[in-house]
Chains A and B, each alone.
Chain A
Amino acid sequence: SAVISQKPSRDICQRGTSLTIQCQVDSQVTMMFWYRQQPGQSLTLIATANQGSEATYESGFVIDKFPISRPNLTFSTLTVSNMSPEDSSIYLCSVVDRAETQYFGPGTRLLVL
């Protein structure tokens, strides 16, 4: 199984600033995803993090707002840029391992004031 850690686990930020969330996996995985869960809403896929190339974004999400890096098979970052209170959410990293099993991280709880 894959064990996922996310940093930070929670943060409170001022509007207009940016926050980078890290996702670290204890084994090499084939796919990595970033999800957002706004208060009272369903989880929504932001993008697929591709190793060594630009992430693939879902409709409604753009690279300027949510730049993503994935330098290797075990690590990815998601940056929430120029934050507003509407960005207050739980951000989740998810991975698929070589056995094609999907795992979810512990989440990063973000509050933007």
Chain B
Amino acid sequence: NAGVTQTPKFRVLKTGQSMTLLCAQDMNHEYMYWYRQDPGMGLRLIHYSVGEGTTAKGEVPDGYNVSRLKKQNFLLGLESAAPSQTSVYFCASRQGARIMNTEAFFGQGTRLTVV
């Protein structure tokens, strides 16, 4: 049981380049999330999805886009990377907010550096 898998684990981008981060979960979870983690700021929610074909903005959505074409995958895109997007990105999934086992499961993170 792989849980939540993020690809890639590390990446260095030049300013203005684009890239897509992939998150895959094998737990049949409805909800999926993308967070960024920066020192002293905890985890901030970028975008999230409550089901296949749906997406919603979180706390810091600017500069990012997401898609959830398949229930098991949640993609995070950077169209034109900026140094301010240097961060560690975490994907998480959750069965559902109204269900008792409502904790989130996290991937191992993607360390992105924009130079």
User: Does B bind A?
Assistant: no
Chain B residues close to A by CB (< 8 Å):
none
| Chain A interface residues toward B at CB < 8 A | none
